[in-house]
Amino acid sequence: MSIIKSFKSGLALVFEHLKIIPIIYAVNFSLAALLAIPMYISLHEAIGTSGVRDELMQGFDHEWWTEFNFHAEGLEKTFRPSLSGGFGAIFDNVELLLTGKFTSFGTGIFIFGVTYVFVSAFMNGGIIGLFAEEKRKFSTSRFFSNAGLYFHHFFALALTAMLLFLLVYKAFSSALFGALGSFTAEWLSDRAAWFVNLIGYVVLLLIVIFFNMIFDYAKIILVVEKKESSWLCIWYSLKFSARHLANAGGLYLLLILVGVGLTLVFALLDSLINPSQVLVLIIAVIFQQGFIIAKIWLRLNFYGAQLSYYNQGQSEVRRLKKI
């Protein structure tokens, strides 16, 4: 089974179903508006007609933000200086991924994030259901039909994944870094201790990536093989991934690298845009929406490539059984 072949097949699947992207974008835009509109109102009231507005157009004003953050409550507390730069949000997300402190942005945002996980579970059923069908022509009705058909299964998988990651971050991560801290407690070199902790974060990251891959293939197996048990599909996925760890893991890492590269390019370009004028601000907003569309494409390509790889593997198994 070829990693590159699976990647190309995934691209072809996404290209044949490009009409999914506007649907997912519309859902994302609607959910984002629930947070963006109240935040806009709060910022508009805080900035008002003062000269701060002009200063913020030229660059982030830390003095204004310090005063704003001191009086901020709820959603307003999530407004941070890191949002003013192209790479700031990336560093925030990496920190969350490595530490698991998902409530650091507030309980409201955490609940919103959990809600989005289950909304994604609904849409993922439609995506994989369409990709797995022999019919290649896109149909909105079939998308929502598949989304509804597999939702209870994907909901169960999403809930199981959340509980598993909670265990990883609260139990395994604490035990791992507690052991590393005890191991390096008497070391005189801070640099050596830092590298040991870095290894711990790499191990944690690889575990998170592996579990994500397992749950992706569990969704694919559930749809392709028409299974009735969501949790049994996790076991099937684990066996499949262990049997093809090198190639399945290699494909997943390739998709991650494409995503990382895409994110870094957009972040670099975004950091070069200084919205000091209304026209430039509009261009910046359009550019950022393009990035969101690119992330949706990447998400589709994950499922498309992994589905193609799984189908290749199953075809080889059936062929060998006939020999």
pLDDT in tens, 294-312: 999 999 999 999 999 998 8
Residue of higher predicted confidence among 205 and 45? 205
Query: By 3-state DSSP, what share of the chain in percent is helix, strand and coil, each rounded to 5?
Result: 85, 0, 15
Pick the most confident of 85-99, 143-157, 168-182: 143-157
pLDDT band at 276 (very low <50, low <70, confident <90, very high): low
What band does 147 get if pLDDT is binned at 50, 70 and 90? very high
Task: Give the best-scoring range by mean pLDDT among 36-50, 132-146, 199-213.
Answer: 199-213
Q: Are 102 and 96 in contact (CB under 8 A)?
A: yes
Per-residue pLDDT, 120 = 93
DSSP letters of 174-221? HHHHHHHHHHTTT-S-HHHHHHHHHHHHHHHHHHHHHHHHHHHHHHHH
Predicted local confidence at residue 97, as pLDDT: 76
Core vs surface per residue 293-321: b (16+ CB within 10 A) or e: ebbbbbbbbbbbbbbbbbbbbeeeeeeee
Rounded Cα distance, 98 and 91, in Å:
11
**CA 194 – CA 196 distance, rounded (Å):** 5
- Higher pLDDT residue, 307 or 107? 307
Alpha-carbon distances of 35 from 9, 55, 57, 78, rounded to whole Å: 37, 25, 22, 11
**What does the alpha-carbon distance between residue 178 and residue 197 come to, in Å, rounded to a whole number?**
10
Nearest to 76 by CA among 40, 121, 115, 102: 40
217 or 289: which leads in pLDDT? 217
Separation of first and last alpha carbons in the chain: 18
> What mean pLDDT, rounded, does the chain reach?
82
Can you give the residue ranges of every domain in the chain? Answer: 3-322
- Poorest-confidence range of 1-10, 102-111, 145-154? 102-111
pLDDT(215) > 90: yes
- pLDDT value of position 278: 66
